[in-house]
């Protein structure tokens, strides 16, 4: 198992619904560590960078609005296989596939409003940590 660092973000719906503690508790109980954490308001510029891979999708304008609708909690999370491990804890992107027991399965209200972001590869983890923590 490889020690990894990943970028995790609690999205505006997580903050508004009072689920910060619940979600952080699951991350910690799984054995991952929070190396750094801050609450920030995102702007369109950083979101266009962060979500460049979905910029041509019809749902992109909705993501831009949703992600600016309130503050997010940005975190660097570390541990053995933290990148894949956090994706497993989060559950899949697709609302219909997110099973109970995962963060998205238990709390997401749609594919769009899905509580949490996590890096999907070592390359994106490095770029996202740099984007939000430098
Ligand atoms: N999203 C959406 N509809 C979709 C796919 C994605 O609204 O059909 C939103 C959702 O908030 C998702 C984000 O766009 O978390 C980024 O999409 P990505 O494919 O990177 O999913 P993730 O890595 O967050 O699971
Ligand atoms: Mg993604």
Q: Which domains does the chain have, with CATH numbers?
A: 3-133 (3.30.70.141)
Global confidence as pTM: 0.98
pLDDT at 131: 98
Per-residue pLDDT of the chain (134 residues; tens, 9 = 90+): 899 999 999 999 999 999 999 999 999 999 999 999 999 999 999 999 999 999 999 999 999 999 999 999 999 999 999 999 999 999 999 999 999 999 999 999 999 999 999 999 999 999 999 999 99
Atom 1 of ligand 1, residue of closest alpha carbon: 112
Distance CA 131, CA 7 (A): 10
Residue whose Cα lies nearest atom 9 of ligand 1: it is 112
Kindly list the protein residues whose Cβ atom lies closer than 6 A to any atom of ligand 1: 54, 59, 63, 93, 111-112, 114, 117, 120
Other C-beta atoms closer than 10 Å to the C-beta of 67 total 22
DSSP, residue by residue, 24-45:
HHHHHHTT-EEEEEEEE---HH
Pocket test for ligand 1, best of 63, 97, 113, 121 (most atoms within 8 A of CB): 63
């Amino acid at each position: 198992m490889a020690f990894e660092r990943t970028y995790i973000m609690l999205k505006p719906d997580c903050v508004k619904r009072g689920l910060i503690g619940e979600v952080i508790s699951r991350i910690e109980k799984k054995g991952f560590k929070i190396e750094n954490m801050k609450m920030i308001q995102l702007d369109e510029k950083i979101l266009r960078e962060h979500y460049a891979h979905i910029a041509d999708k019809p749902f992109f304008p909705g993501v831009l609005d949703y992600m600016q609708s309130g503050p997010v909690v940005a975190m660097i999370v570390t541990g053995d296989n933290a990148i894949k491990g956090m994706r497993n804890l989060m559950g899949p992107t697709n609302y219909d596939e997110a099973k109970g027991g995962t963060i998205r399965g238990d709390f997401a209200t749609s594919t769009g409003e899905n509580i949490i972001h996590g890096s999907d590869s070592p390359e994106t983890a490095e770029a996202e940590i740099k984007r939000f923590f430098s």
